[in-house]
Amino acid sequence: MVHLADSLTFSGRKVLAAWASLPFPALPGSSLPTTLSAHQQDVPWELLSSCREQKVSCCFAQSVVLRGVCREKPSSSPGQQQPWTSLHSESSKQVLQQYLHTHFPGAFSTAHVLQQPCDTQPPFPQFFSPLLTRQGFLQDKALAHSSAGPNRDVQSIPVLAALQAWPGLHQLLGGLCQDLGARHVRRCSSFFTAGLEHEDFQEALEELRTLAHSYETGGGGGGSEEEGDSD
């Protein structure tokens, strides 16, 4: 994990945001291009890190791993409309890579696709929606279990996880810096009992402030990358 973080952080950045889609929203038997074409406006994963800003519009660098999604290609039957043909590449990895380049132009992006899904049999927590099949794919509401409780029959799920050097981390790190700066550390005997000097604390606080500024962009944390980061 340390080496992965090092490969995604540059220009003074050291922190990554975690995102995940659990399960990845795919229909049974659907191809990866078809699934991704349904998410042309917003990416199909949610923020796990405790940031106020929840929407991702750009990033500096990212590593995305997808596992357990059907690898079949869309049908090419005459007269059948093809979904977003720009995603119809040679492999699932290329499809995901193209999707990342489309949503995050100029960002350094790596994509990995694994065929094996995530095993969710006990003791994995059984908190899944009745709308999921036993393989973790979305099904029609009319076919879902009528029980109001969690679905305990899910044996595996497709999963997407991502680590991003993301401009929204400016708010998280800046807020942490403000909270620490507002504390009167001289009144906290535990700080000095642990061997922390006041000068060391102030130096660490300044380093945190500098780290927060490294995630700023011209758009205030949500605009385009101005440093020309690319792969």
Question: Which CATH number does the domain housing residue 105 bear?
Answer: 3.30.1330
The fraction of the chain above a pLDDT of 90, given in percent, is 39
Cα distances (angstroms) measured from residue 48 to each of 31, 39, 140, 164: 26, 19, 27, 11
What pLDDT is attached to residue 165? 93
What pLDDT band is residue 209 in, cutting at 50, 70 and 90? very high
Residues 118 and 56 occupy one common structural domain:
yes
* 146 within a domain of the structure (yes/no): no
Q: Is residue 225 part of a domain?
A: no
Q: Is residue 101 part of a domain?
A: yes
Task: Confirm if 69 and 118 have CB atoms less than 8 A apart.
Answer: no
In sign, the C-alpha dihedral spanning 134, 34, 55, 50 is positive
Q: Which of 42-51, 85-94, 110-119 has the lowest mean pLDDT?
A: 85-94
For 64, the 3-state DSSP assignment is strand
194-209: average pLDDT: 85
Length of the chain (residues)? 231
Encoding tokens for residue 205? 């606080």
Residue 223 lies in a domain: no
Phi-psi region of 119 (alpha: psi -120 to 50; beta: other; left: phi over 0): beta
pLDDT at 61 over 60: yes
Q: Which helix (H) or strand (E) holds 208?
A: helix 198-213
Q: Are residues 161 and 189 in the same domain?
A: no
Number of domains in the chain: 2
- 106 shares its domain with 182: no
**What is the rounded average pLDDT for all residues in the chain?**
80
- For residue 226, being part of any structural domain is answered with no
Residues 187 and 30: their CA atoms lie apart, in Å, by 60
pLDDT band at 227, cuts 50/70/90?
Answer: very low
Residue 161 shares a structural domain with residue 194:
no
Domain check: are 67 and 97 in the same one?
yes
CA distance 107 to 125: 35
Which of 67, 11, 70, 20 lies closest to 44, judged by CA?
20
pTM: 0.78
Question: Cα–Cα distance between 55 and 57 in angstroms, integer?
Answer: 6
Torsion on CA atoms 81, 86, 90, 92, rounded to nearest 10:
-90
Domain match, 189 and 160 both:
no
Whether 21 and 45 share a structural domain:
yes
Residues 95 and 161 in one domain: yes
Q: How many helices (H) and strands (E) are present in the chain, helices listed first?
A: 6, 7
In a domain, 147, yes or no: no
Per-residue confidence (pLDDT) for residue 145, from 0 to 100: 54
Tell whether 224 is covered by a domain: no
Query: Are 135 and 189 contained in the same domain?
Result: no
Place 216 in a pLDDT band, splitting at 50, 70 and 90. confident
Instruction: Tell me whether residue 180 is in a domain.
Output: yes
- The residue segments making up the domain with residue 116 are 1-71+91-141+153-165
Residues 35 and 95 occupy one common structural domain: yes
Q: Do 120 and 183 belong together in one domain?
A: no
One domain, residues 48 and 98: yes
